Amino acid sequence: MPAIPSLDTDFEHALVELLESSHRAQLIAAGRRLVHVLAPGSRLGLTEGAAEENNDRHLVLPLGEMPRHALKVELPAGFNRAEFERRIALVARLLGAKDDQLRSLRHLRESVHRLERAERLQRALYTIADQASSDRDMPDVLAAMHRIIGSLMYAENFYIVLYDPQSETLRFPYFVDVADPDPPPIDRDFPLSEIVYSPTWYLLHNGVPLMGGFDAIRKQVDGPLTRTGPSAVDWLGVPLLHEGRAVGAIVVQSYREDARYTAQDRTLLSYVAQHVRTALERRRAHEELGRRVAERTEELTEANRVLQRQVLERQRGERLQAALFRIAELASTTDSLDAFYAAVHQVVGGLLYARNFFIALLDDDGQSLRFPYSADEFDTTRSTRSRGKGLTEYVLDHGTALLADSDEMERLQATHRVVQSGTSSICWLGVPLICNERTVGVLAVQSYSAEHRYSKADQELLTFVSYHIANALERKRSAESLKQAYGELEQRVDERTRSLAEVNRDLRQQIIKRERIEQRLKYETLHDSLTGLPNRSLLLRRLGNALERYRQDPTQIFAVLFLDLDRFKVINDSVGHLVGDDLLFQAGGRIRACLKAPDVVARLGGDEFAVLLEHISDGPAACRVAARVITELNRPFRLGVKELFTSTSIGIALAAPHYRRAEELLRDADTAMYRAKAEGRQRYALFDERLRHQAMTLLELENDLRRALTRNEFEPWFQPIVRIDDGTRVGYESLLRWRHPERGLLGPDEFLAVAEENGSAEHIDWQMFALVLEQAPRLLKDDNFISINLSGRHFRSHRLERRLLDLLAQHSVDPKSIRIEVTERALLDNPAHVKRTLERLRARGIAASLDDFGTGYSSLSYLHQYPLQSLKIDRSFVAALDDENTGSTPVVRAIQLLADSLGMQVIAEGIETERQRDALAAMHCPLGQGFLFGRPAPASDWL
């Protein structure tokens, strides 16, 4: 029996081989060698499972602990079986252990591999999500997704298709194919029907993945299959699903035999597809949001731009408004024409670049140009020139504005032979000064440097302003020429060289001129020059219309608000009248802003405004408007850098059947306003029963007057009229007094206005005349006269002359000793008629005096038309003689000269001081009356 080898080299070698083997095959080979080394010639095999049993011939030994494999050895002949078994068992155990080790190693490797793949997938999905939310462009994002999918499977040819089930259109946001010579256009919509029955169509239509070659796919679909594009060896498409419906698909395809898709790829791609869909959706939402944000931003920017433009326009409007307002003011506030021009320059400078500025005026004959004002960097003087071919003349000729840069000037030179006189400028802007539809001059600005150029807007602005300047200029010039006219007249009479006839002719010319000015003034009489609002006349006119309508249809209720600004005088005195005027201007605007279309706000003068509210429903509605106006005017006013506060009190009168005239409503609103003020300002008051009651006391006065007439409560007092140089009495003025049973002696100021209003003034006068004439014979000594005051209303009666003469005859008074005193107002009421009446009276010996001269219209034009014997200089001028600064000496002197030239006698009224008397005497004023010489007193006092 051969000995069993000890652990010799061979065995050792075989054992190492076994232990080092890292694969199943190596293991088996090593095991076989071990057995051979143990028992040469024995045969050995490995069985699957430990199914076979041991028998005489074979030994079957399980390998390791898991008896899935067994070692099957054919027993060599002649071996001690037990010994052999023992050794083989050792080998089997070794083999088994090694086999187990190898198996678990393989398991480990596999799971590492799996984990790696899972990680790769995970990373891919992350990257996809990442891409979706990145701000890169869509094509870049899709390319990145393509790369990611390429890292998971073979995806050299790859496309994404998106499908809109509603419009049944599809588009390819991404398409890469190495073999397709005619790829579909990127991102263009086309109908799904264009690819009908293609694999993609089925994919979108059925919403299930498709995989395989053309034939394989045909088996997966339930209809005909058509080919699109080159035929692929393998094709894998998965739908992008949204709520169970396909909204797109991802497709990979292969043209290579060695690259094919597996079920695992399909699962993977399906999985990735859902992520791609979410990513695309999120991306789209993100873009949509971005687009909306951009849109909104754009909208806001636009709104902002519009707002800014509005603000600018507003500012410009305000600036312009202020400028126009200043220009209107300038005509009356500047002392001289030169100052006026300079001020205009300043105002224009506030609106545009006016470093170089001039005013050119055409002479009366239209042949030469004067430059009464010029400010210029280069041309220090601009002398008068005869009309030539300059830019200024061009504007004069055409009567329209001219904006000329160098090109335009060249063109004008070529076409009209226009040559710029003076230093040539880079930009020239001139506008005509048009007055009464006649171009009287040009206002021009120019620039010598490129940085200042004028635009069309500047031209418009200057043109606009020019109307106002021309207007103001004309007013200013009229005022100036009037002043001059007075001056010239004075001088001429002073010289006493010319004949009276000559003076008269001059005078007539002055009168014509003056009348022209008056016409213009009349034209402006319907608007207030400061605020541009309608004035009292216009308001009364509108009020009259509203009243008329109301009386025809009593449902057409309307209301009048009368308001004035509280404490305005204080503001005016403390901040200056310019600011005060500005405040009035703004206040007018605010009031107007509270009203609706047909309503009118008018400035009545000073700080008084009135509003006509048409179509108002009732008193409360008018009160609501009043409350609104009060709130508006309570807001601070921004005037330059100052912020001022004012408030208003409002009186309201509502249309009612007893109103006959517009003035009555205005009067009642005024009365109510005083109530509002008395009750603590900043409030409104409705003219109501209580106020009506107050008005009733007025009625009482009227009743009293009537009673006074029947009870002969009136009596004449007399004031002496004297020669100023020596004080001798030449006559008396009779003055009305009322001996009221309860109130005592009343002067005309206390009741005459009411009497004029209710028509009793005439009756009172007649009573007075009778009494005066009764007492006249006693007062009239030598050739004294008595003058009686005549209310203007008398001239409405055709019986005046007859009645007066009868009365004179009745009392045997010589008409020559009686004078009548009439006011300017009375003369103007019905000039032709009054003139005839006065002429007839004069013919019968009764002379007329013009009373209160200088306080009324002071128009020279009518003086010479009327047969006036004397002219009474109003007390206010006489009183002003006392003050050297504001002295009225020139005025009184002018009146005196004028009266002299017209052959009128002058009587100065209200002489109270010796100084006044002396001043008048120095001016050769012949007659006077006043407290200095004697106060009015009953006739008995003078006897």
Residue with tokens 């030469």: 368
The rounded distance, in Å, linking the Cα atoms of 626 and 616 is 12
Residue 157 touching ligand C2E (CB under 6 A): no
How many Cα atoms within 13 Å fall on the side-chain side of residue 233?
A: 11
Give me the 684-723 binding string for Ca ion, x by CB under 5 A, dash otherwise.
----------------------------------------
Q: Residue 306 class from Cβ within 10 Å (0-12 exposed, 13-18 middle, 19+ buried)?
A: exposed
Residues 6+ apart with CB under 8 A from 57: 74, 75
Residue 847 beta carbon to ligand C2E: minimum distance, rounded to whole angstroms? 16
The rounded distance, in Å, linking the Cα atoms of 560 and 653 is 5
Site for ligand C2E in 267-296 (CB under 6 A): none
**CB-nearer residue toward ligand C2E: 637 or 738:** 738
Among 191, 388, 598, 747, binds ligand C2E (CB under 6 A): 747
Beta bridge partners of 58: 74
Q: What radius of gyration do the chain's Cα atoms show?
A: 59
SS3 11: helix
Residue 851 touching Ca ion (CB under 5 A): yes
Residue 736 beta carbon to ligand C2E: minimum distance, rounded to whole angstroms? 4
The rounded distance, in Å, linking the Cα atoms of 779 and 731 is 9
Angle of helix 81-133 relative to helix 263-333, nearest 10 degrees? 20
Residue 852 touching ligand C2E (CB under 6 A): yes
* Cα dist from 102 to 24, 26, 60, 183, whole Å: 7, 11, 21, 52
Site for ligand C2E in 511-540 (CB under 6 A): none
Residue 823 touching Ca ion (CB under 5 A): no
Residue span binding Ca ion (CB under 5 A) among the ranges 325-333, 498-506, 817-825, 929-937: 817-825
User: What are residue 630's phi and psi, to 5 degrees?
Assistant: -60, -45
Token pair in block for residue 517: 């000015």
Report whether 275 contacts 238 (CB < 8 A).
no
Residue span binding Ca ion (CB under 5 A) among the ranges 229-237, 470-478, 656-664, 785-793: 785-793
User: What are residue 137's phi and psi, to 5 degrees?
Assistant: -70, 155
Residue 790 beta carbon to ligand C2E: minimum distance, rounded to whole angstroms? 6
Q: Residue 208 class from Cβ within 10 Å (0-12 exposed, 13-18 middle, 19+ buried)?
A: middle
Site for ligand C2E in 700-729 (CB under 6 A): 719
**CB-nearer residue toward ligand C2E: 156 or 912:** 912
Residue span binding ligand C2E (CB under 6 A) among the ranges 90-98, 128-136, 438-446, 743-751: 743-751
Residue 593 beta carbon to ligand C2E: minimum distance, rounded to whole angstroms? 44
Residue span binding Ca ion (CB under 5 A) among the ranges 30-38, 541-549, 781-789, 824-832: 781-789
Site for Ca ion in 125-154 (CB under 5 A): none
Among 62, 430, 910, 928, binds ligand C2E (CB under 6 A): 910
Residue 786 touching ligand C2E (CB under 6 A): no
Residue 440 touching ligand C2E (CB under 6 A): no
DSSP label at residue 231: P
**CB-nearer residue toward ligand C2E: 255 or 942:** 942
Strands 937-938 and 714-723: antiparallel
Residue 736 touching ligand C2E (CB under 6 A): yes
Residue 851 beta carbon to Ca ion: minimum distance, rounded to whole angstroms? 4
Among 99, 607, 762, 821, binds Ca ion (CB under 5 A): 821
Residue span binding ligand C2E (CB under 6 A) among the ranges 116-124, 157-165, 433-441, 903-911: 903-911
The rounded distance, in Å, linking the Cα atoms of 305 and 744 is 75
DSSP label at residue 623: H
Report whether 192 contacts 215 (CB < 8 A).
no
- Residue 535 contact among ligand C2E, Ca ion, none, beta carbon within 5 to 8 Å by kind: none
The rounded distance, in Å, linking the Cα atoms of 675 and 694 is 11
- Residue 531 contact among Ca ion, ligand C2E, none, beta carbon within 5 to 8 Å by kind: none
Residue 315 beta carbon to Ca ion: minimum distance, rounded to whole angstroms? 53
Residue span binding ligand C2E (CB under 6 A) among the ranges 260-268, 597-605, 748-756, 919-927: 748-756
- Residue 931 contact among ligand C2E, Ca ion, none, beta carbon within 5 to 8 Å by kind: ligand C2E
Q: What is the 3-state secondary structure (H, E, C) of 709-774?
A: HHCCCEEEEEEEEEECCCCCEEEEEEEEEEEECCCEEECHHHCHHHHHHHCCHHHHHHHHHHHHHH
Residue 789 touching ligand C2E (CB under 6 A): yes
The rounded distance, in Å, linking the Cα atoms of 462 and 402 is 11
Residue span binding Ca ion (CB under 5 A) among the ranges 176-184, 317-325, 538-546, 904-912: 904-912
Token pair in block for residue 785: 């006269």
Residue 918 beta carbon to Ca ion: minimum distance, rounded to whole angstroms? 21
**CB-nearer residue toward Ca ion: 654 or 898:** 898
The rounded distance, in Å, linking the Cα atoms of 515 and 861 is 7
Residue 931 touching ligand C2E (CB under 6 A): yes
Report whether 889 contacts 881 (CB < 8 A).
yes
Residue 852 touching Ca ion (CB under 5 A): yes
Residue 877 beta carbon to ligand C2E: minimum distance, rounded to whole angstroms? 12
Site for ligand C2E in 755-774 (CB under 6 A): 761, 765, 768
Residue 789 touching Ca ion (CB under 5 A): yes
Q: Which of 677, 415, 697, 663 is nearest to 569 (CA)?
A: 677
Number of residues forming the site for ligand C2E (CB under 6 A): 23
Q: Which of 743, 673, 653 is nearest to 701 (CA)?
A: 743
Residue 793 beta carbon to ligand C2E: minimum distance, rounded to whole angstroms? 9
Residue 363 touching ligand C2E (CB under 6 A): no
Residue 876 beta carbon to Ca ion: minimum distance, rounded to whole angstroms? 10
Residue 829 touching ligand C2E (CB under 6 A): no
- Residue 274 contact among ligand C2E, Ca ion, none, beta carbon within 5 to 8 Å by kind: none
**CB-nearer residue toward ligand C2E: 107 or 935:** 935
**CB-nearer residue toward ligand C2E: 547 or 761:** 761
Q: In the chain, what is the straight-line distance between the N-terminal and C-terminal CA atoms, in Å?
A: 201
- Residue 736 contact among Ca ion, ligand C2E, none, beta carbon within 5 to 8 Å by kind: ligand C2E
Q: Which of 253, 283, 80, 69 is nearest to 162 (CA)?
A: 283
- Residue 276 contact among Ca ion, ligand C2E, none, beta carbon within 5 to 8 Å by kind: none
The rounded distance, in Å, linking the Cα atoms of 69 and 51 is 9
A 10 A CB-CB count for 485 gives 18
Among 912, 921, 923, 942, binds ligand C2E (CB under 6 A): 912
Residues that bind Ca ion in the complex, under the rule CB under 5 A: 789, 821, 851-852, 909
Residues that bind ligand C2E in the complex, under the rule CB under 6 A: 719, 735-736, 747-749, 752, 761, 765, 768, 789, 791, 821, 851-852, 909-912, 929-931, 936
